[in-house]
Amino acid sequence: MITRRSFIKACCAAAAASSAVPGMAYFNPLGAGRNISNDVIVYLFLRGGIDGLHLVVPSSGPERVSYDQIRHPGVLIPETDLRALDAEGRWGLHPRAGGLRGDGVGSAPKWLQKLWVQNKLAIIQGCGMPTALSRSHFDAQAWMDLGTPGSKNTSTGWITRYLSAATGLPQAELSSVFGFASTLPLSLLGNNEAFTVSRAEEFKVDGFHWSWDDSDPDINNHQGAHTRLANIWAQSDGLLGSKGKTTAQALAQMRDIPFSEYLSEGGAEYPDNGLGIQMQNLAQLIKQDTGLVAATLDYGGWDTHEGQGKPQPGNPGHYDYYGNQLEGLSRAVEAFYTDLALSAQGNIMNRVSVVMLSEFGRKVRGNQSNGTDHGYGNVAMVVGGSVNGGQLYGNFPGLDKASLFENQDLGVTTDYRRILAEALVKRMNFSAGNLDQVFPGIGSYEPLGVFQQ
C-alpha cells in the first residue's frame, strides 16, 4: 500500500523529471497512463471593479456612436487603437490583452487574445447581479463571493456550499479546495478543510533559524525542528487533536512539493507578479492530481478612479496603468493555460475552467480625473479547454441614454451565477436540480452555452 506521503513524493520527483526532460513520459505510481481524473473550477476575482468597457470596447455601429458621445476623452480608446475581436468588427479588445506596450494592434496575438483566437476564451457582456444593487466594493464582493446577492450575512461561501452538496468528489490528498489568499476567502466561508495559502511556498513552518529550520542527515542525523510537528501532535484527542494531526501532515506534504523548483511546460512563462506565482502553484497542484476540484484567486488593483490610462499601441513609453494591470492578468492566465494544455501528461486544460469575475463595472462616462467611478454591469471572462470560446455571450445592455442604468451605468442582463451554475453542471457533474443549494433562489437552470458538456 502506498502512503499519501510517498505518493506525493513520487509525483514530485516524477513531475520534476518529466519537466526537466521534455518528452519523457510521466510516471504515475497509481496506474498506467496519466489522466487528471477530475475537473477543476478556478474562481479568479478581479477585485476593485475592472472597467469592462475599457477591455471590450465598441469599435463600430450604434454602440460606438454612443460611446464616442458619452465617454470622457481621458478614457476613450480610438477604434484604431483596439485589437480586432469579433468577425463583424463591432467590438475591439484593449491592445494589452494581446500585446506589449510597444506592439501595434496588428501584431501577432499574445495572451488573452491568443486564447480568444484559439476559441478558448469566452466573454460575457452585461454580467453582474440583476437582483441586487450595490456600488460598495465590500458589499458587492461579499454578495458575489457568498453567492447570495443582496445579503452579506450568509454564513457559507458558494464554493463551500458546492463542495458540501456535491457527490462523488475525488478523495483529496491535500484539500478539495485551495484559496490563494491571506485570509479565508468569503467564497470559502464555513469550510474548515480548505487550504488557504497566499503562496504555496509560504505554507510551511519556517520561522526557526536556518540552522534548525531544515534537516541534514549528513550531520549526525541533524533533525530540523519542523520534523517534530507530527510527533508533537501524535498523542492528542478531540477536534483539536485531529485537526492538529491534519495540519502537521499537510505541512509535511506541502513542504515536500518543490514549489520553488517547478518547471512549467509548453514554453509557458508565468509573469513575476503575485497572480503569476499563484497560478503556477495551482498548475503544479493540479498536475499532482491530488483531488483538488476548486481554487480561488484574486487579482486586485482595478479601482481606477484616477489616471486609468489609455493605450497607445506601438509606443513603448506611454503611461497605461490599466494596460499594465491587464497585461499582468493576461500573461498569468495564458501561462496557466499553456502550462496545463501542453503538459506531458496530456491536455489537462480540457478539465480546467477559469471563471473571471469582478464586483461591478464602472460608470460609462468617466470622470474629470481621467478615471472611472463605480458602476454596475460588467464583462466576465471564461478560459478553458472545454469552453466554447471566441464568442461574445449575453445581451449587451446598450450605451444609449435610454438603455443606461440609472442614467449612468451599463445595465446587467446576465446573472453571474448562471456562468458558475453552468460550469458546475456541465464540467463538475453537479446536478442542475441541486443548484438551489449552492445559489439559493437562482431559479431554473439556464445555461448560456459557454461550456462544453
Cβ distance to another protein smaller for residue 156 or 378: 156
In the block, which residue shows the cell 505510481?
Answer: 29
Beta bridge partners of residue 445, listed in sequence order: none
Q: How far is the CB of 169 from another protein (least distance, A)?
A: 17
368 near another protein, judged by CB under 8 A? no
Q: How far is the CB of 224 from another protein (least distance, A)?
A: 9
3 near another protein, judged by CB under 8 A? no
207 near another protein, judged by CB under 8 A? yes
Q: Which region among 34-42, 134-142, 277-285, 293-301 touches another protein (by CB under 8 A)? A: 134-142
208 near another protein, judged by CB under 8 A? yes
CA torsion, ordered 268, 313, 118, 449, to nearest 10 deg: 110
Alpha helices in 291-320 (DSSP H): none
The only residue of 76, 84, 132, 251 in contact with another protein, by rule CB under 8 A: 251
Query: Which residue, among 433, 430, 330, 331, has the nearest Cα to 41 in the 3D structure?
Result: 430
Q: How far is the CB of 216 from another protein (least distance, A)?
A: 9
Cell of 434: 441541486
- Binding residues for another protein, how many (CB under 8 A)? 55
267 near another protein, judged by CB under 8 A? no
- E strand or H helix at 255, and its extent? helix 238-256
Cβ distance to another protein smaller for residue 74 or 244: 244
50 near another protein, judged by CB under 8 A? no
Q: What is the rounded CA–CA span in Å between residue 274 and residue 301?
A: 12
Cell of 389: 470560446
Footprint of another protein on residues 227-246 (CB under 8 A)? 228-229, 231-241, 243-244, 246
The only residue of 84, 133, 165, 225 in contact with another protein, by rule CB under 8 A: 225
Q: How far is the CB of 172 from another protein (least distance, A)?
A: 11
- E strand or H helix at 374, and its extent? none
Cβ distance to another protein smaller for residue 5 or 228: 228
Q: Which region among 85-93, 163-171, 206-214, 357-365 touches another protein (by CB under 8 A)? A: 206-214
Q: How far is the CB of 251 from another protein (least distance, A)?
A: 5
138 near another protein, judged by CB under 8 A? yes
Backbone angles phi, psi at 27, to 5 degrees: -85, 120
Q: How far is the CB of 305 from another protein (least distance, A)?
A: 11
Q: What is the rounded CA–CA span in Å between residue 98 and residue 249?
A: 42
Q: What is the CA radius of gyration of the chain?
A: 23
Footprint of another protein on residues 157-196 (CB under 8 A)? 175, 179, 182-184, 186, 191-196
Q: What is the rounded CA–CA span in Å between residue 32 and residue 34?
A: 7
Cβ distance to another protein smaller for residue 182 or 429: 182
- Quick check: 98 and 112 in contact, CB under 8 A? yes
Contacts of 85 (CB under 8 A, 6+ apart): 56, 59, 91, 92, 93, 116, 392
Cβ distance to another protein smaller for residue 85 or 282: 282
- E strand or H helix at 5, and its extent? helix 4-20
Q: How far is the CB of 230 from another protein (least distance, A)?
A: 10
Query: Which residue, among 422, 271, 284, 280, has the nearest Cα to 353 in the 3D structure?
Result: 422
Q: How far is the CB of 249 from another protein (least distance, A)?
A: 8
Query: Which residue, among 147, 145, 150, 194, has the nearest Cα to 172 in the 3D structure?
Result: 194
Query: Which residue, among 261, 274, 257, has the nearest Cα to 332 in the 3D structure?
Result: 274
5 near another protein, judged by CB under 8 A? no
Cβ distance to another protein smaller for residue 285 or 382: 285
Q: How far is the CB of 207 from another protein (least distance, A)?
A: 3
The only residue of 29, 106, 202, 319 in contact with another protein, by rule CB under 8 A: 202
Q: What amino acid occupies position 359?
A: E
Cβ distance to another protein smaller for residue 281 or 345: 281
Q: What is the rounded CA–CA span in Å between residue 355 and residue 389?
A: 12
Cβ distance to another protein smaller for residue 220 or 407: 220
- Quick check: 196 and 159 in contact, CB under 8 A? no
212 near another protein, judged by CB under 8 A? yes
- CA 336 centroid distance within chain: 10
Q: What is the rounded CA–CA span in Å between residue 133 and residue 145?
A: 15
Interacting residues toward another protein by CB under 8 A:
137-138, 142, 152-153, 175, 179, 182-184, 186, 191-198, 202-209, 211-212, 219-223, 225-226, 228-229, 231-241, 243-244, 246-247, 250-251
